[in-house]
Structure 1
């Protein structure tokens, strides 16, 4: 971030005119090695377009986009001209803040300056005598207190005070009043009872701007023996406007006003009671800012000029924030609005400004004096297009992608491009729109439940179960209802909130889509399609190759396995849902093949090879004949493998490996055993919890765990304790929003903080075991202390609920755990390596990333070195090691993992017959040689080539 620093101030500069001043500024930048001398041309060109005079004796010269080639390093310098320099023909400047920015970093400086200029600092700028004075006056923030309608939320679905804290913090965070960490500073010991069920709480950590949010639960809560029906959450810092705050307190200590506040549930009315800024009931229009560098000085000046043509007042807000005058350049710049954000303009009724709104919107669309690339509106995929295509440099000639599901397939192309939905954004009938939304959600929930009931594929059921949980998420629905109250139509409210939630889930710092963000958009599109009465996509009657941007779980509902010969997608990785679905259905698939595949002509013949990721458009007849023969050969291999699936996985030289299954539902044990599983290597118990609307009690869990133990008939069961949080939330276990949920509270980090959940689960498992072989493992262990804390809880419970046939271990998913394996191996009974997460954390690549996921290969030497150390540490102390990630079923990985000494491979049960058949053709001694070579390779590609 650009910052104003004392060392960057140059006092006592002299220039007779603007040209000389610009030369002086460039000399300073060149001296500090920020730019080359040619940058002067960029400063001059910018001034010719429009003067960079900001006001109060300050200018902010900066180059044009074309001059960025002369920038060596982003930076800002300040030059003080005590005699002044005429800048725009009439105004003198005494301070120039010259910026060399490679992108839009200058907006940060603008925000700092415009906030300072809310006060009149012109004399202090002119008469400054030291760098310290300059920085002090520019960084001075005016006293403030944000108090407006968008900070109020009613009918909050809260069951306890923690829920209210979360909603209050969300209001403040959405309005950019606080940052991540604020909620942890809310201390219940600081709660103050104002009377009439109204309480307040104040925190001063992680506060960006002073503000007050007000939240009211659907049903009054009990707190310390008192009623709580209204919570005021005060975000305070040294810029808090105490007189304004005291006026608020005077209102709240008035018994009559406090009683009104207690019984009022309309945010607009509450805002009027407390004297907050309200959202004016004025005509409004919306537009998405398309300027690549945001609303900086030049387009903002253009906007001011447009709005000043009308005598009536015109106000603007960004992303439903507070409204400010669109005729004030200083206030517009303080918004810091960036490309892609939504501007809402409102016009004073019964004035010429109402008719002028269309001119304002058109001016913004035209770029406000800049050339812009328009952003599509009312399209569910608009944001995705911008983000994905910008990074996807594939061409029409690309003929390979990521192999996601093995097998050969060919057929006519059925290309489904991202859908677009048109709808009215505004509506005045809140009740009708609310009913429309509820009906659409209920219809989608019903469709999903029907599909779950009909589906026989466990992996797909698990994905859809998670989607049902998302649609039941009270926070998600509450956010949409809040937008409905702002007179948005049901489709607009739904889409905008889902898109915001998905973007936040992906990352708050402009990272691309993560897996759960894709799921949110998937359910978002389903509901939006119902709201917009969008026609269903018609499936061809003959077998075809499905080609899409990505195959979401909702698309699976339309798939007929007998018709879909193969799948080819533009984005995705080998562990993305599209790949999981394809493998579960046994459909050959290639993912991440680039945007060019969407331009394949419909009905053109496409041949795909899911084993190596190659595809051919309009292949020659001989190639298809070869594919037919190869596909038949592979079919015969599977038939033969299935005949012998109950036989052990033993190499030609007598080395045996245990083959187990990964399952998510307790009733999936029978199929796993039928497919040849010798154990369950991973029971994902979070799906047991997701099947309930509240945390299942001990008896419920015990009954479900007994089902699988009965089906296993004495085979070992490895159970992963509850692994939720962050990217896998439970509706009834609220977790504060995290900037990076993959590095947040999940797995053992969550259950150690909610030990009652862990205790109940462990008791249910111990009671259900009846001394049958039970293996319990704790997920996301990153520190030895976490393992020991969890083990203490289990040991305490074992004293009361004895279990003789029990082993206790941990999952190796975090690199720190692998590196600590020599210590941990002395204490645990076994390790189970989750290669999906271990790869993700080792390589710092989100395994659901649509562009980078192909690079997150578990056969990368860095991952193999961690696996090797873990196995050696375990075997030194007589402990066993399993693999329960996607790598366990990868034909290229099997000999390497075996050669490293892994004792168990656990996978989807449908992969078991083929993996067992492969192992029976291997020689263990050769596998050991391959593994040692793999550890010396420099890339995953080199490792994969070892067996060729």
Structure 2
């Protein structure tokens, strides 16, 4: 039992007093661990601020928690990042569970040693259970040891805190972070978004550090790396559901976060020893030449200080609102077209709402600092924390904060960005940001060069997605080059040539023209069907996720949609789309494709993709759990609503329904019967074709039986690979070995095609293997008649098909089934391509 009295906390150290939000650590500054104060110590011994019991001592002796007589739990943490000292420099003067009196020495520490080996000596004193108490400051001036600093007053509700009320239930769980590179902006935004879908308060615990899951900056500031173990703690009325969803979000890797191969090989640039050459790191391959154009950031005017806080608060709030509106507009333009960019800017929106970031800026304003400088200082403090972490990928994500720094500063200073760039410019900057690239996309630029930056930054990801050559880490010499100076950048070789000869410029221009001409020819022929040399037609369709992507695919020559992922309608919302919304979305895709067919996969979510309105159990291995068609079996109303919407699109002859994760014939028969029943209820006689996605080995082994009842097959090589090889395709250490050209996979594809052929069914491939040019002759040889690829690859794949002869492909693919490894298959495919080019060249020479 605790009394309900006020207590006074006395200074445990001597030194200047700081508000907690000025501590250069987002976890403390954001109030994650509780409310309190900080002291920059001038003495070397921590003393008890009041009488009480020692309830916790950090194993590294840098932190101690004391429970006062009224139940207040006072945490004292000496220095920042002192856990890394592993106890060196600290001498413990009390034992756990011991009773202490006010002013009693608790921990002695070596001021010089700790100062030299940690981020800061600033020591925090806070209440870890401050939600039950009100803190009243006694002073804001520098304090002497033992001086009264805080009055702790229990709140009226404190007495009810331990009544066992289920509304305040706390649950916790541990998980290894599966996101590539750890918890940087995008995965942190995913966790934050997941937490916001519940009423419970959620926190992320790493050792003795904690971050609230409503703060991106605090999450990133923990420096959590890939495969690091963390604890998630949820408190509130829906804490169990919140915990399950957050554990799943943490354990599910984000798509598209892998670093380029070049980045893995060359993490540091070569030294600049050769005259006229700047060495950097390849972030996006390509060859380019053109005049240099500089893109500089905002320059802050001097701030005289002593500004009136009111107008500055208003100015900052207005600027934040303006930038949010601009990012929202960008998102509306990007969604459905550039999913990678949309995800990045969604993370930027979340950062703009980050309480620790915005509150830090407002706190600076309270001290008379101008809004522009306050915002800049708040961002700089967080960037310093991220860059100090021993996590290169997280340090690179400071670029996202710098992007927001620049956008808000322009809004505050009234600057408009109007670029006047020469044609085919090579844009150089200290470090470009995602919004810079969005702006540059409106101009005809040849490449990007950065003095700083990293190969896994968000700008690098966006540059690769757009096929734009990009070099980073070129050094300060890049910024000394004169605007207009003609450069050659060879991103694959990782260098910029600052004084290319006329012959070199002609050589680069010739190479660029040849590539452009090849792509132009491929695109010109993309609208024509792809026939092999012996006349066999292979359909080349596109994988899309929206009507706008389907329209782009049609323009690029796609023969149809080989995979429409319907999850885009169900994710990132709090209620399921109704029948009418689904019908409209599917109809829009059919309309966008003209007279060409569209394969629509039914919803494929489960333990690895949580829906706020469909709480599912957290599973130890989500990819082997409740997902795909299995979800439709346990939640039939969800699938029936989708099937009704699909039955009502027109014309039905162009709509093909595909079922994911089928593993036995009965599953297919059950869905076909449901389709018949729903069609009868709707009075519909015309029926869409019903196909099966072959993505589990059981389906491939049962292909002949499934083909009796399915209208077509489409092989999902991504999942089929991981299920066959028993390797998670998102596992950082195994991803490179999950190769769909493994002979075991090829045998399953061969078995699928044989089973389909016995019943006159056609087989497509919609996984990543369909886009692999090495695999094209293999798949055609095994009997595949449709390839579904990303829209920009349609022309290239069609061009490859036209070079092939079916009989040659058939003979070649059968030989591959006897090889022993994926590596052997890939080498054989490379050799086949070389022999094929040689044979065609010899034939042409003979004919001439």
TM-score using structure 1 length? 0.48
How big is the shift at 1:659?
Answer: 0.3
1:617 matched to 2:617? The reply is no
Q: Tell me, in whole angstroms, the C-alpha distance in 1 between the residues paired with 2:405 and 2:585.
A: 34
| SS of 1:118 mapped into structure 2 | coil
Does the 8 Å contact 2:283/2:464 carry over to 1? no
Partner of residue 654 from structure 2, selected from 773, 784, 792: 773
Partner of residue 809 from structure 1, selected from 692, 716, 733: 692
1:833 matched to 2:729? The reply is no
Equivalent residue number for residue 675 of structure 1: 556
Q: Tell me, in whole angstroms, the C-alpha distance in 2 between the residues paired with 1:808 and 1:702.
A: 19
How big is the shift at 1:886?
Answer: 5.5
Equivalent residue number for residue 938 of structure 1: 823
How big is the shift at 1:705?
Answer: 1.4
How big is the shift at 1:930?
Answer: 6.3
Q: Tell me, in whole angstroms, the C-alpha distance in 2 between the residues paired with 1:721 and 1:496.
A: 46
Equivalent residue number for residue 200 of structure 1: 167
Does the 8 Å contact 1:762/1:794 carry over to 2? no
Partner of residue 903 from structure 1, selected from 782, 785, 792: 785
Q: Tell me, in whole angstroms, the C-alpha distance in 1 between the residues paired with 2:609 and 2:403.
A: 16
Does the 8 Å contact 2:605/2:631 carry over to 1? yes
- Within 5 Å, give how 1:370-389 maps onto structure 2: none
How big is the shift at 1:557?
Answer: 1.9
- Of 664-673 and 530-539, the range deviating more from structure 2: 530-539
Does the 8 Å contact 2:320/2:352 carry over to 1? no
Equivalent residue number for residue 323 of structure 2: 444
How big is the shift at 1:894?
Answer: 3.7
Q: Tell me, in whole angstroms, the C-alpha distance in 2 between the residues paired with 1:496 and 1:790.
A: 57
Partner of residue 516 from structure 2, selected from 635, 643, 647: 635
Q: Tell me, in whole angstroms, the C-alpha distance in 1 between the residues paired with 2:631 and 2:300.
A: 39
Equivalent residue number for residue 545 of structure 2: 664
- Within 5 Å, give how 1:670-819 maps onto structure 2: 670-688=551-569, 695-722=576-603, 757-777=638-658, 781=661, 784=663, 795-796=673-674, 798-801=676-679, 804-810=687-693, 812=695, 817=696
Q: Tell me, in whole angstroms, the C-alpha distance in 1 between the residues paired with 2:629 and 2:302.
A: 44
Q: 1:448 to 1:194 in 2, by over 3 A?
A: closer
Does the 8 Å contact 1:638/1:914 carry over to 2? yes
Partner of residue 652 from structure 1, selected from 522, 533, 538: 533
- Within 5 Å, give how 1:803-882 maps onto structure 2: 804-810=687-693, 812=695, 817=696, 821-823=700-702, 826-827=705-706, 829-833=712-716, 835=718, 861=739, 864-865=742-743, 867-878=745-756, 880-882=762-764
Gaps of 5+ in 1: 1-49, 51-55, 63-102, 123-144, 153-192, 209-229, 236-293, 296-316, 322-336, 342-383
Q: 1:547 to 1:203 in 2, by over 3 A?
A: same
1:916 matched to 2:794? The reply is no
Does the 8 Å contact 2:718/2:740 carry over to 1? no
Query: How large is the Cα RMSD of the aligned pairs?
Result: 6.6
Partner of residue 289 from structure 2, selected from 390, 398, 410: 410
Q: Tell me, in whole angstroms, the C-alpha distance in 1 between the residues paired with 2:407 and 2:570.
A: 25
Does the 8 Å contact 1:395/1:596 carry over to 2? no
Q: Tell me, in whole angstroms, the C-alpha distance in 1 between the residues paired with 2:92 and 2:658.
A: 55
Does the 8 Å contact 1:721/1:778 carry over to 2? yes
Q: Deviations over 1:778-808 (max 9, x none)?
A: 56x4x949x9879856753552136633223
| SS of 2:439 mapped into structure 1 | coil
Q: Tell me, in whole angstroms, the C-alpha distance in 1 between the residues paired with 2:626 and 2:317.
A: 32
Q: Deviations over 1:758-792 (max 9, x none)?
A: 4433332222255223333456x4x949x987985
Q: Tell me, in whole angstroms, the C-alpha distance in 1 between the residues paired with 2:624 and 2:310.
A: 41
Equivalent residue number for residue 153 of structure 2: none
Q: Tell me, in whole angstroms, the C-alpha distance in 2 between the residues paired with 1:736 and 1:114.
A: 45
Q: Tell me, in whole angstroms, the C-alpha distance in 2 between the residues paired with 1:201 and 1:61.
A: 30
| SS of 2:97 mapped into structure 1 | coil
Q: 1:513 to 1:541 in 2, by over 3 A?
A: same
Q: Tell me, in whole angstroms, the C-alpha distance in 2 between the residues paired with 1:111 and 1:695.
A: 56
Equivalent residue number for residue 218 of structure 1: none
Q: Tell me, in whole angstroms, the C-alpha distance in 2 between the residues paired with 1:400 and 1:720.
A: 43
How big is the shift at 1:699?
Answer: 0.7
Gaps of 5+ in 2: 1-43, 45-53, 61-80, 101-126, 135-159, 176-197, 213-220, 226-258, 273-277, 366-373, 681-685, 835-848
Number of aligned positions between the proteins: 603
Q: Tell me, in whole angstroms, the C-alpha distance in 1 between the residues paired with 2:778 and 2:293.
A: 38
Q: Tell me, in whole angstroms, the C-alpha distance in 1 between the residues paired with 2:669 and 2:718.
A: 23
Q: Deviations over 1:702-728 (max 9, x none)?
A: 122112223434422122344678998
Q: 1:492 to 1:556 in 2, by over 3 A?
A: closer
Q: Tell me, in whole angstroms, the C-alpha distance in 1 between the residues paired with 2:361 and 2:568.
A: 35
TM-score using structure 2 length? 0.53
- Within 5 Å, give how 1:277-356 maps onto structure 2: none
- Of 925-934 and 616-625, the range deviating more from structure 2: 925-934
Q: Tell me, in whole angstroms, the C-alpha distance in 2 between the residues paired with 1:876 and 1:389.
A: 40
Q: Tell me, in whole angstroms, the C-alpha distance in 2 between the residues paired with 1:600 and 1:466.
A: 30
| SS of 2:643 mapped into structure 1 | helix
Q: 1:550 to 1:459 in 2, by over 3 A?
A: farther
Does the 8 Å contact 1:759/1:793 carry over to 2? no
Does the 8 Å contact 1:549/1:595 carry over to 2? no
How big is the shift at 1:545?
Answer: 2.6
Does the 8 Å contact 2:574/2:613 carry over to 1? yes
Q: Tell me, in whole angstroms, the C-alpha distance in 2 between the residues paired with 1:820 and 1:755.
A: 22
Q: 1:900 to 1:479 in 2, by over 3 A?
A: farther
